[in-house]
């Protein structure tokens, strides 16, 4: 299975007047992520499932990705991808979608970076900048789950090696 981890795009800053879950993408965040999505499509990203955190900024990011890729399935909102997402939640998501060819998860830091580090066996998190798209080849053997790096789009640049 191919797995793409997507950190939401640039959102409005936190303020005491705006609940964190309602923070939305800035105009620049939308525009930047649209360009990143085009690059991801050129890398061959063609998901058969897109799952997202229920937070507004993540849902908007997932919708932009779906639109740019002309994805014809539903963007699935799941509480599992809310802040605090962990390896147990990831196992549940993957376990329910074993038939999936390419799965996209849209969420938050530091959760996605910690997951990426675990899957890649780096010994630490792989921090993802806002709007980053990390593509992995996922290997599941019983309870063991690991991954191999495929490509990363960060700061609007495609990288073929993890630095």
Q: Is-above-0.85 flag for pTM? A: yes
Residue 141 pairs with which residues in a beta bridge?
144
User: For 77-112, how does the pLDDT look when each residue is reduced to its tens digit (9 = 90+)?
Assistant: 999 999 999 999 999 999 998 889 999 999 999 999
* Range in 5-9, 48-52, 93-97 the model is least confident about: 93-97
- pLDDT value of residue 140: 86
Count CB neighbours of 72 within 10 A: 7
Would you say residue 145 has pLDDT above 80?
A: yes
CATH level 3 topology of 2-76+83-159: Rossmann fold (3.40.50)
Average pLDDT across the chain, whole number? 95
| pLDDT band at 44; cut points 50, 70, 90 | very high
122-149 CB burial, b ≥16 within 10 A, e <16: eeebbebebbbbbbbebeeeeeebebeb
* Beta-strand pair 102-107/49-52: parallel
Would you say residue 163 has pLDDT above 80?
A: no
């Amino acid at each position: 299975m191919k797995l793409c981890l997507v950190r939401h795009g640039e959102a409005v800053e936190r303020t005491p007047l705006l609940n964190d879950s309602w923070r939305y993408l800035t105009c620049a965040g939308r525009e930047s992520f649209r360009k990143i999505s085009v690059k991801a499509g050129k890398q061959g990203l063609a998901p058969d499932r897109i799952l997202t955190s229920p937070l507004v900024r993540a849902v908007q990011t997932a919708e932009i990705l779906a639109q740019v890729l002309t994805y014809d399935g539903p963007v699935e909102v799941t509480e599992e991808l809310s802040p605090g997402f962990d390896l147990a939640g990831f196992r549940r998501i993957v376990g329910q979608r074993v038939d999936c060819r390419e799965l996209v998860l849209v969420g938050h830091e530091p959760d996605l970076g910690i997951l990426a580090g675990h899957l890649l066996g780096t010994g630490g998190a792989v921090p993802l900048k806002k709007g980053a798209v990390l593509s992995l080849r996922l290997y599941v053997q019983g309870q063991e789950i690991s991954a191999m790096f495929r490509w990363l789009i960060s700061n609007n640049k495609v990288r073929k090696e993890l630095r």
